[in-house]
Structure 1
Amino acid sequence: MSREEAYAHWSRLHGGLDPRTSFWVSGWVRLSHACARPLARRGVRPDTVTVTAVLVTAVAAGLAALGDGWPLPALVVLVGAAVLDGVDGALAAQTGAASRWGSVLDPLADRVADLLALLALVALAGFAGLAVALGVAAGLLTLLLESVRSTAQVAGMTGPGAVTVWERPSRVIVASFGFLACGIAWAARRSGVDLLPAVDQPALATTALVVAVALGAAGLVRLLVAVRRALPR
């Protein structure tokens, strides 16, 4: 599959959006297809990659939940899972193995991965009452956003409706920065640096959850407005 064919395939899956208008999106499409090529040659099925991405995310969440310095390797594993998340679609396009089951499995796997990342942040916050409430709120907002989008598409809306501030990449980024901040805080204290004594791993993880809730709420409102405009009255 050529680069232009890869762009066209991504555009068809995302409501006609042109990935070439964004440096990051176009780079992501190229990276996904480059990683998919060796798998396609070996006959790996897209569904296998989808399930593997969820399992790798679970490993990342488990590592992060250990606290101390573990969020740093968890960050690396989470980024690997995010790459796999894009590879399954590229693999399906290259091998012609796209299926109706795959179209169900892929979003299901994404939602499980989203919730696992939030659970890891709650664990880093020590399962404190506020962190649990924020984690539940962020999870519900994520599921509501995706539910509204899929229901609107069934009702006749074409494409994603709106690209909000709380899409899959944003969820990975928030979790990644949460892991990174917690890891850096631990490493700094191990080195004898304690610039902000009150800012420990639980505080940083809770802050990441606050950001997740804020972006989730903003994303849901933005999507609802777009859906209302897109669907006939």
Structure 2
Amino acid sequence: MLSRDEYLAEWSRWHGGTDPADSRLVHGWLTLAYTLARALSWLPPVAATALGLLVALSAIGPALAGGGWLVAAGLLVGLSGLLDSLDGALALAGGRASRRGYVLDSAVDRLTEAGYATALWAAGAPGWLAAAFGALCWLPDYLRARAGQAGVAETGSISVWERPTRVAMTGFTVGGAGIVAVTGLDQLAGPGAVVTAGTAVGCLLGLVGTAQLGVSLRRALAD
């Protein structure tokens, strides 16, 4: 298995030369995934991919139940994001990376993000806001893919709205609403208000991150 530094370099190569050190959150997230991959090196990457999707979709049920179940929904979201990073770490660090797996992982990422948006709606966010959250999860990666088809090798600098941020915002928003319900703080702000506020903040980060990416890709496409 590759060393951590070799794994990070390989991750950068598969992501258009993006340096994970540009973001502490992304670097820490990848380091955690690599640590788990070393312990679970026997696990096929596709198994982690499939399990991550199932866990993400399973968060919708507790989100619908509301109350203290929202804490469970938040934990499931976080676990699904970790499993998603684990499959990439298993593939890259274990020398099992392939273009087929890369495309499959990207497709599953979009499905899990649809699950996150659905969980936010189930937990109390307005439908239009949850849909906007989901769309802003999809848009940056769509832009990167289209830019790649146009001949841009770089994926742009790391923005404030990368995959770890999307997972964290969803998990903390839903889980935080559950903590509010369990501790009785809902007399100050109900779980629905917490979810709505968190989803709105996520949308704001999505807009900022997409703008950051747009500036970067505009320069690359102008060359």
TM over 0.5: yes
Instruction: Name the CA shift for 1:220/1:26 in 2 (closer, same or farther; >3 Å).
Output: closer
1:35 aligns with 2:36: yes
Q: Does 1:188 align with 2:183?
A: yes
Unaligned runs of 5+ in 1: none
> Could you say which residue in structure 2 is the equivalent of 1:214?
204
Letter in 2 for 1:201: P
Q: Deviations over 1:11-49 (max 9, x none)?
A: 212333333455444433332122112432x3x321121
Kindly indicate whether residue 68 of structure 2 is the aligned counterpart of residue 69 of structure 1: yes
Amino acid at match of 1:46: P
Note the C-alpha offset of 1:146: 1.6
Q: Secondary structure at the match of 2:32?
A: helix
Distance in 2 of aligned mates of 1:3 and 1:142 = 28
Contact 2:18 2:157 in 1 (8 A): no
- How many equivalent pairs are there? 222
Counterpart CA distance in 1 for 2:5 and 2:40 is 20
2:4 maps to: 3
Q: Which runs of 5+ in 2 are unaligned?
A: none
Cα 1:25–1:136 shift into 2, 3 Å: closer
Aligned mates of 1:143, 1:102 — CA distance in 2: 19
Quick check: 176-185 or 20-29, which moved more?
Answer: 20-29
Task: Give the distance between the partners of 1:28 and 1:162, measured in 2 at CA.
Answer: 17
CA–CA separation in structure 2 for the residues paired with 1:138 and 1:146: 14
Aligned mates of 1:180, 1:88 — CA distance in 2: 24
Q: Which residue of 1 aligns with 2:18?
A: 17
Please identify, of 72-81 and 82-91, the stretch whose mean Cα deviation from structure 2 is larger.
72-81
Q: Contact (CA 8 Å) 1:7, 1:20: kept in 2 or not? A: no
Which residue matches 1:228? 218
Let me know the Cα RMSD of the aligned residues: 2.0
Between the two proteins, what is the percent identity of the paired residues?
Answer: 38
Cα deviation per residue 1:157-189 (whole Å; 9 max; x = unaligned)? 222213222211111111122122211211122
The 1:19/1:227 distance shift into structure 2, 3 A limit, reads: closer
Secondary structure of the residue aligned to 2:136 is helix
Larger Rg: 1
Is the Cα contact below 8 Å between 1:45 and 1:97 reproduced in 2? no
Do the aligned residues in 2 keep the contact of 1:181 with 1:204 (CA within 8 Å)? Answer: yes
Q: 1:157 to 1:62 in 2, by over 3 A?
A: same
| 1:79 has 2:69 as partner | no
Matched, 1:144 2:134: no
Q: 1:122 to 1:39 in 2, by over 3 A?
A: same
CA deviations over 1:116-168 (Å, ceiling 9, x no partner): 1111111111x6xxx10111222222222221111001212222213222211
Structure 2 distance, partners of 1:112, 1:66, is: 22
Counterpart of 1:206, as a letter, is T
TM-score w.r.t. the length of structure 2 is 0.90
